[in-house]
Amino acid sequence: MTAGEKIPLDGEVIIGSSQIDTSALIGESVPHSVNVGETVLAGTINKTGVLDIRVTKLFGESSISKILDLVQNASSKKAETEKFITKFAKIYTPIVVFISLAIAIIPPLIIPNATSAEWVYRALVILVISCPCGLVISIPLGYFGGVGGAAKRGILIKGSTFLDTLLDVKTVVFDKTGTLTKGAFKVSVIEPTNGFSKDELLSFATYIEAQSNHPIAQSIKDAYLSNYGRELDLAKVTNYEEIAGHGIRAMVEDKLVIAGNDRLLHRENISHDTCKVSGTVVHVAIDKKYAGYITIADQVKDDAAQAIQTLNQMGIKTIMLTGDNKGVAADVAGRLGLSSYVAELLPEGKVEAIETILKGSGKKEKVAFVGDGINDAPVLARTDVGIAMGGMGSDAAIETADVVIMNDSPAKVAEAIQVGKKTRQIIWQNIWMALIVKGIFLILGTFGVASMWEAVFADVGVALAAIANATRVLK
């Protein structure tokens, strides 16, 4: 693929690197860098380099195809207001027709000097004024505008009914990894002791972890490279041994180095006074002497704290459910300002936790769940509103969810709720405007004050004004 071409199908880069414009798909204006081994999505545009891409999904399974399907089927799930107006029009229209017939026929028969022409004219005026097209057209258009306006912001809502449901959300439950955090480990603390320096601690830990492909080992290697910018001489590492469930032991030049969890220190009878450390920790000992520990943490997404703060300001309770340990969960919850959290959950445990939250909510209070993994799909289906991270989320989560956030930004959750509120506000403005204007002109028409020109304004003018008002939700 050369620069300027649109990527037709989802795939994986096998040769080359480039900048990809993803604005059409997820609304992010800044180009995204891709290299060999990374995934690219259909509908995005190759901006700079030349790429060889291996197709990984057929068009029917691609991201752009799913988006089109969501748009095409968005109207199949109508909101309650939309359903009410449709039913109202079915009852209202025949009633208005019979009232107009009565006005045209009865007054000339019972009122002296009344002419049929005058009352037929009044009946026609009332018939034109009473036309419900202003309501019937503008309200569905308002919901479609809400769905379209959300899509422009990178939020795909699978039907107007979910715009209404979002208004009543009083609790938002988040998954942790991949939702509030990036799912990528990074060294956060290097804590040496017993006379060792940070450089020594990190260097020995990197030597011993260098041969492992574990994400924790990779994060330690990345920290070393970012600090020193040079590779290690792995020829210095001998007698490498992995101890299942504990850690690693090896010789680095003439020193015995072990790195692992607290159980490994006890197994090797190494004296230490640091056992409980919050987060994921790697303890290091050199020649049977405790050298310190390195803490590795999942990186919190840049806008996660702001997202939680915005929801809290809106009076919405925020809860985190995670399978991670309590120490990590407590650290993330504290940094983000979450109302509460539940840790060490299996997939079925998340469903049970959601059931408890749903039972504790009021009758009109809705619960939303935000997740990205395959294990989140049952919870997304169980809650009142399921919100999936669509950028890196699993296909199962995206298919099950009612709302899909294309750029994986937690801040979009509050934005989706705000779009729902704005949509409802505009729709009720249209309803009241149409009813008040039509009511005034019906009275004027009945007494013969309103002419056909006023009737046309009360019908077409109100419809156009309502439609124009409905388009504001797109902005």
Q: Which amino acid is at 270?
A: I
User: Distance between CA atoms of 305 and 444, rounded to whole angstroms?
Assistant: 57
Q: Where are the beta strands (DSSP E) in 166-279?
A: 169-175, 181-192, 237-243, 247-252, 255-260
User: Distance between CA atoms of 161 and 167, rounded to whole angstroms?
Assistant: 10
Both structure tokens of 81: 């207001």
Both structure tokens of 102: 């009565």
β-pairing, 11-15 vs 39-40, is antiparallel
Residue 280: beta bridge partners? Answer: 296
**Active site annotation includes 199:** no
User: Distance between CA atoms of 239 and 235, rounded to whole angstroms?
Assistant: 11
User: Distance between CA atoms of 463 and 467, rounded to whole angstroms?
Assistant: 6
The answer to whether 171 touches 311, Cβ cutoff 8 Å, is: no
User: Distance between CA atoms of 33 and 394, rounded to whole angstroms?
Assistant: 21
User: Distance between CA atoms of 226 and 233, rounded to whole angstroms?
Assistant: 17
The answer to whether 15 touches 36, Cβ cutoff 8 Å, is: yes
**By C-alpha distance, which of 153, 171, 176, 173 is closest to 301?**
176
Catalytic residue among 10, 164, 175, 324: 175
Q: Which residues are catalytic?
A: 175
